[in-house]
Structure 1
């Protein structure tokens, strides 16, 4: 996707979208970290605690960790697209949408 770059943060592989953290690996939890609204995080953790969780370190951030063995690729893709769109400058989003429509 436009504006996505692979980099490192805290010595770990990270993807940034439009210069902002997009998704990364938590070495302490050995799990990927995804951005989600707080309300969604609460629903995910309550509905699927064997899949989604957060630790005290992440409690005050709109983030959720996912147990790698339980990661649903369709959920991850939808989440990443949604976060990418939310972080995209309007001009990038407009060009991307126009390209997708053909």
Structure 2
């Protein structure tokens, strides 16, 4: 995926902000996206990395340990780090939507399902 960070942030916003209940904010000094006041992804701009909530990190890391990995910081959390220069847009979108669905309320998931069926 292109690593021009302004293009990348536009890509993230185009996927995430239309989702029911998603807001953009900061997590410490990093841009982040929240649903139901729960963070589900944040961007490490200078390092061109994305931390994303997932319960399937072992699957992703086994598939491509260069692109998908964890640092010591994330060992005890359900997050994985994604290298932006090597992740495919389709894989990234899958991860982001899955992270959103894992953190959203049932009400927001119903809104999401209606939105997806409409369009």
Check whether TM > 0.5.
yes
Equivalent pairs counted in the alignment come to: 100
Larger RCO: 1 or 2 (CA < 8 Å, sep 6+)? 2
Q: TM-score, normalised by structure 1?
A: 0.83
Cα–Cα, structure 1 residues 48 and 100, in superposed 2: closer, same or farther, change >3 Å?
Answer: closer
CA RMSD across the alignment = 1.9
List runs of 5+ in structure 1 lacking aligned partners: none
Q: Distance in 1 between matches of 2:102 and 2:50?
A: 20
Matched, 1:33 2:51: yes
How far did residue 86 of structure 1 move?
2.3
Q: TM-score normalised to the size of structure 2?
A: 0.72
User: Which is greater in Rg?
Assistant: 1
Gaps of 5+ in 2: 1-18
- CA deviation profile, 1:39-89 (whole Å, cap 9, x unmatched): x21232233112111111111111111111111211111122122222222
User: Do the aligned residues in 1 keep the contact of 2:41 with 2:53 (CA within 8 Å)?
Assistant: yes
